């Protein structure tokens, strides 16, 4: 019998077809047998799906391999049963389907150990309009005693051996989301994170696999996978001498074995995967659409254009300066001002970054009229107000730490290890009392000042020693996992109480860019590096899995504070406009000309905001190919409006820059070209002209290599933003 996800039928064991509009995952769930995966790829007809079980190239591999019988292969689950037996042998007992509140259709394949009352449910969720499948596992201990989970990954996917290339993201503070591309090697290629808190520095928990050799942006078969988790993870591809590459992903079990008492269930985070025959960009579009519709908090609401105070004034926050910044961003057309670090502390003042985290009271010496005064000022300027917090942290120089040294992560008999400022320590989110404190940081702010529109939630430290003062001695291995369970519980409480406040997730820049966080957060800060040139590369990598609506992308000062590079305001604005536009500088330091460019960029961004924030991304020319330019575009789902970005990333005389054919348009529609953010003395030759989608996609438009400005204003930079609007 064939069971199709989303239909109310329950398979009697046999073929289970988990289909999305363009993809199919075919499983065999015969009762009494381990669950098998037969196929994953392009959507199959029912006839092909049924025929698979009779042969036809089906994989017939365990869909969720467990450790014990044939222990030489890698497994997704490894358990020590209550009697010490380290083998697990599971077989299907049934399949059920249900529809959840979000319209997701969940197929659960229930399995039980052949001897022990130990249950493993493998779940698959699809949505009617998305090409993503989410998978996760619930493990329940029905045995008399304690079961120890030694490995408990979220999912497994076999990929036919061949010319498979792997793409992943790596980086560190101020150098996030670099792309690495390589043929999948024999042996094990591992991506992992053990920071404890910030899981997208080092590397990202996502991967793309091109099935047809060296990847292309808009052609070729590609599988993408993203582990949606807030904590330590591992993702690895094991290639032995068989016919398959084996992709595993889940929580990093290192030093985290988990004890399950009788009756307890452990639920893994979700692994979201997709398949597209439209290349890397196709996979990205699948993630972006699914993310905006089902994962990102308020993914259907436009994001405001903001000024954040950090690079403008760092910790030197005070009422006069904040008011001035609000006046300036309002005068340029911005909609929101965010006061970053430096506003709090009573006994200890936050004048340098070595104190006061945890003491979330206004520093009256800096802000004599408090938050109310700032909110009044914002409303006087017709903008909204936001504020920075770092609620999971404290400093040894703080009133919170003086009162409760037992609330921080610390191992017995060890000197406490301190981070930023020589004093920063991490609060132990495994502890329910700490969870209350963290909830109250947000709840108190929002209850006292309901007009706060935006919170920047930061986290600037890793777990620096393995020890929970809350967990019992025999459960110290739960620290990494219970920290995140506690964090997620707290975020649930926060969102139940305060669903409407926009919350940005930041962690030493882009340290927490993971789909696991985004159900509670509206956006993330990509990096503390705001250099526009490096941002072209970093935002390119980020866009592999994350949509522009979630990507904080700010115009900052020149010379840049991280790279000291001098970049003209036009280029800085053209890069920032490809994400969620903001400013990160002291506007008072800008000259009138630069202000005018910002004002124009903000006005133009307002017009294209729905296209950038809700449109489909087509990456066209990767900066990583070093062809001298990078280019991408966003197109509305109706293909009636688009924005094209072109950035020159190198300058040499005699350079032969490629002309960039566009993508994603309707060949049969006609589009009028308008340049945005124009600084040239004359319009481009094709300004206001109309071209067919077919011409724009087969040929593209020539871009002048420089801005066409007065001679003394020439620089080595050049960039263009063009809007393409359908002419009916």
Q: How many CA atoms, within 13 angstroms, populate the side-chain half-sphere of residue 585?
A: 26
508 binds ligand GLA (CB under 6 A): yes
Q: Which one of the spans 93-101, 220-228, 502-510, 559-567 is the region binding ligand GLA (CB under 6 A)?
A: 502-510
423 binds ligand GLA (CB under 6 A): no
Q: Which is nearer to ligand GLA, 257 or 390 (CB)?
A: 390
Q: Which is nearer to ligand GLA, 457 or 691 (CB)?
A: 457
In the set 175, 328, 528, 574, the catalytic residue is 528
Q: Which one of the spans 11-19, 291-299, 371-379, 501-509 is the region binding ligand GLA (CB under 6 A)?
A: 501-509
Is residue 641 annotated as a catalytic residue, yes or no? no
Q: Which is nearer to ligand GLA, 142 or 421 (CB)?
A: 421
Q: Which is nearer to ligand GLA, 210 or 508 (CB)?
A: 508
Assigned token pair, 34: 């381990």
392 binds ligand GLA (CB under 6 A): no
Q: 625 preceded by cis ω (within 30°)?
A: no
Cα 306 to chain centroid distance, Å, stands at: 20
506 binds ligand GLA (CB under 6 A): yes
517 binds ligand GLA (CB under 6 A): no
Q: Does residue 231 contact residue 452 with C-beta atoms inside 8 Å?
A: no
129-29-16 Cα angle (round to 5): 25
CB of 197 to ligand GLA, least distance (A): 13
CB of 420 to ligand GLA, least distance (A): 8
In the set 175, 359, 458, 574, the catalytic residue is 458
Cα 164 to chain centroid distance, Å, stands at: 24
CB of 460 to ligand GLA, least distance (A): 5
Is residue 83 annotated as a catalytic residue, yes or no? no
Which has the closest alpha carbon to 342: 325, 362, 369? Answer: 362
List the one residue from 282, 509, 587, 615 that touches ligand GLA (CB under 6 A).
Answer: 509
Extended strands (E) in 464-606: 502-505, 523-525, 551-556, 580-584
What residues have CB less than 8 Å from 281, skipping those under 6 apart?
Answer: 217, 218, 617, 618, 619, 663
Q: Which is nearer to ligand GLA, 159 or 393 (CB)?
A: 393
Q: Is the dihedral of CA 414, 415, 419, 424 positive or negative?
A: positive
Q: 559 preceded by cis ω (within 30°)?
A: yes
Q: Which is nearer to ligand GLA, 353 or 522 (CB)?
A: 353
Burial of 285 per CB tally in 10 Å (0-12, 13-18, 19+): buried
Cα 26 to chain centroid distance, Å, stands at: 28
CB of 506 to ligand GLA, least distance (A): 5
458 binds ligand GLA (CB under 6 A): yes
Q: Please tell me the distance from the alpha carbon of residue 508 to that of residue 471, in angstroms, as a whole number.
A: 27
The residue number with the shortest CB distance to ligand GLA is 341
List the one residue from 460, 477, 613, 622 that touches ligand GLA (CB under 6 A).
Answer: 460
Instruction: DSSP letter for 552, please.
Output: E
310 binds ligand GLA (CB under 6 A): yes
Q: Please tell me the distance from the alpha carbon of residue 413 to that of residue 510, in angstroms, as a whole number.
A: 33
232 binds ligand GLA (CB under 6 A): no
341 binds ligand GLA (CB under 6 A): yes
621 binds ligand GLA (CB under 6 A): no
List the one residue from 392, 528, 604, 641 that touches ligand GLA (CB under 6 A).
Answer: 528
List the one residue from 134, 328, 340, 392 that touches ligand GLA (CB under 6 A).
Answer: 340
Q: Which is nearer to ligand GLA, 315 or 417 (CB)?
A: 315
616 binds ligand GLA (CB under 6 A): no
Instruction: DSSP letter for 513, please.
Output: -
Q: Please tell me the distance from the alpha carbon of residue 39 to that of residue 53, in angstroms, as a whole number.
A: 10
Binding-site size for ligand GLA (CB under 6 A) equals: 12
524 binds ligand GLA (CB under 6 A): no
Assigned token pair, 653: 């005389």
Backbone angles phi, psi at 66, to 5 degrees: -120, 160
Could you give the 3-state DSSP secondary structure of residue 446? Answer: helix
Residues that are catalytic: 458, 528
Task: Give the interface with ligand GLA as residue ranges (CB under 6 A).
Answer: 310, 340-341, 353, 388, 458, 460, 506, 508-509, 525, 528
């Amino acid at each position: 019998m064939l069971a199709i996800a989303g239909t109310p039928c329950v398979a009697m064991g046999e073929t289970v077809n988990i289909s999305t509009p363009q993809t199919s995952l075919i499983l065999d769930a015969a009762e009494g047998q381990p669950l098998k995966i037969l196929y994953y790829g392009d959507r199959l007809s029912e006839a092909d799906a049924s025929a698979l079980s009779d042969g036809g190239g089906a994989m017939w591999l365990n869909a969720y391999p467990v450790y014990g019988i044939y222990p030489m292969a890698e497994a997704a689950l490894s358990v020590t049963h209550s009697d010490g037996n380290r083998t697990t042998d599971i077989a299907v007992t049934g399949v059920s389907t249900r529809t959840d509140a979000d319209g997701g259709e969940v197929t659960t394949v229930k399995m039980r150990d052949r001897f022990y009352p130990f249950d493993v449910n493998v779940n698959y969720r699809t949505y009617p309009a998305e090409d993503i499948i989410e998978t996760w596992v619930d493990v329940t201990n029905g045995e008399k005693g304690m079961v120890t989970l030694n490995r408990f990954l979220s999912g497994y996917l076999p990929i036919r051996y061949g010319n498979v290339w792997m793409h992943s993201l790596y980086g560190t503070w101020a150098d996030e989301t670099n792309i690495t591309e390589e043929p999948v090697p024999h042996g094990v290629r591992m991506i992992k994170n053990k920071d404890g808190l910030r899981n997208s520095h080092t590397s990202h928990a996502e991967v793309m696999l091109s099935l047809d050799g060296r990847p292309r942006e808009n052609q070729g078969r590609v599988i993408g996978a993203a582990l949606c988790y807030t904590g330590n993870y591992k993702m690895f591809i094991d290639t032995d001498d068989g016919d398959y590459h084996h992709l595993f992903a889940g929580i990093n079990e290192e030093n985290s074995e988990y004890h399950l008492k009788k009756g307890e269930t452990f639920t893994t985070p979700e692994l979201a995967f997709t398949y597209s025959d439209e290349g890397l960009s196709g996979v990205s579009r699948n993630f972006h659409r699914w993310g905006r519709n089902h994962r990102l908090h308020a993914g259907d609401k436009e994001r405001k254009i903001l000024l954040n105070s950090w690079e403008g004034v760092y910790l030197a926050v005070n009422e006069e300066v904040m008011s001035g910044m609000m006046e300036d961003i309002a005068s340029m057309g911005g909609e929101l001002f965010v006061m970053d670090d430096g506003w709090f502390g009573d006994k200890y003042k936050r004048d340098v970054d070595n104190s006061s985290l945890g003491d979330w009271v206004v520093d009256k010496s800096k802000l004599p009229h408090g938050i109310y005064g700032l909110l009044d000022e914002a409303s006087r300027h017709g903008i909204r107000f936001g504020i920075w917090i770092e609620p999971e942290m404290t400093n040894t120089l703080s009133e919170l730490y003086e009162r409760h040294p037992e609330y921080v992560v610390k191992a017995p008999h060890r000197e406490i290890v301190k981070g930023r400022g020589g004093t920063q320590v991490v609060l132990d989110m495994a502890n329910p009392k700490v969870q209350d404190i963290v909830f109250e940081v947000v709840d108190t702010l929002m209850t006292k000042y309901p007009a706060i529109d935006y919170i920047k939630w930061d986290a600037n430290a890793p777990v620096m020693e393995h020890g929970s003062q809350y967990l019992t001695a025999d459960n110290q291995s739960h620290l990494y996992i219970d920290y995140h369970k506690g964090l997620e519980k707290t975020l649930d409480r926060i969102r139940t109480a305060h669903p409407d406040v926009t919350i940005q997730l930041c962690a030493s820049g882009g340290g927490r860019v993971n789909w696991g966080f985004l159900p509670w957060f509206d956006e993330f800060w990509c990096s503390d590096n705001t250099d526009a040139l490096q941002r072209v590369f970093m935002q390119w990598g980020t866009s592999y899995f994350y949509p522009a609506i979630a990507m904080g992308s700010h115009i900052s000062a020149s010379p840049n504070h991280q790279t000291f590079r001098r970049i003209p305001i036009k280029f800085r604005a053209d890069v920032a406009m490809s994400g969620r536009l903001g400013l990160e500088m002291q506007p008072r330091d800008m000259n009138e000309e630069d202000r005018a460019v910002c004002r124009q960029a903000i006005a133009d961004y307002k017009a294209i905001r729905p296209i950038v924030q809700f449109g489909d991304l087509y990456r066209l020319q990767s900066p990583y190919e070093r062809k001298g330019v990078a280019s991408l575009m966003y197109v509305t789902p109706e293909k009636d409006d688009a924005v094209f970005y072109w950035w020159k990333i190198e300058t040499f005389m005699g350079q032969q820059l490629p002309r960039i054919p566009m993508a994603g348009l309707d060949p049969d529609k006609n589009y009028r070209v308008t340049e945005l953010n124009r600084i040239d003395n004359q319009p481009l030759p094709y300004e206001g002209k109309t071209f067919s989608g077919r011409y724009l996609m087969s040929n593209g438009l020539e871009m002048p290599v420089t801005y066409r400005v007065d001679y003394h204003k020439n620089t080595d930079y050049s960039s263009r933003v063009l809007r393409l609007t359908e002419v009916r």
